[in-house]
Amino acid sequence: MLLRIEDTDEARNRPELVDLIYDLLSWLGIDWDEEPVFQSQRRERHREAVESLLACGAAYLCDADNQPVAGTTLRPGLAARFRMPAGRTVTFQDVVRGDVSFASDDLEDFVVWRSAGAATFLLANAVDDVDMGVTHAIRGEDLLSGVPKVILLLEALGVQAPVYAHLPLLVNASRKKLSKRRDDVSLGDYRARGYLPEAMANCWAGDRRTTSRSVPCPRSWRSSASRT
């Protein structure tokens, strides 16, 4: 099992929240096999990927007004956008949804490098998935629309995208998407209210039977955690 701390948003990074992630995973009986990977410590690797995109023409520099800027070298104050190819249909097979297609003409030139000097969440995740050997990305369906961008980005970098499985979102009693501002979504809150770790693990596993927490997780499955 691999653990990745997705901390590309420096404004919201707080060490105590990372400690809470460790604490709650341990409470569930979930351990990881290697040192946690912090995306904030991989900035040079992300920069290298963006520079590769700029060099091959798959990305371009832009200023604060989103106007293209000549050159292929990242500089302070400039962002980099992926150059969306025209007339492409991006099709992939989702484990849950089957064949999914997007037209590139419906997608914008998206930012891969911020003017503040850091990669965006999408670029960092795509590169780190490849470097960490992730073969299957299992996540919520709200991230489905970002897949064609990742596929085209990785194609430009000359690497293959992982297999995707997009799961239905969790909803509350009113059938609305769970919200941090409105609903009980913190694992720590459930622990404080007396819920057992076995109960929480069974709930997430979709199994009402008693489930052992010692079942190994395939290395190819991504286990990433965000500080937000």
Among the listed residues 149, 176, 177, 180, the single catalytic one is: 180
Residue 180 bears catalytic tag: yes
Which helix H or strand E contains 26, and what residues bound it? Answer: helix 15-28
Token duo for residue 39 = 């995306």
Element (H, E) at 49: helix 43-55
97 burial (CB, 10 Å; 0-12 / 13-18 / 19+) is middle
Q: How far apart are CA 115 and CA 54, in angstroms?
A: 15
Record the tokens describing residue 220, joined without a space.
């190819």
Instruction: DSSP letter for 111, please.
Output: E
The residues that are catalytic are 180
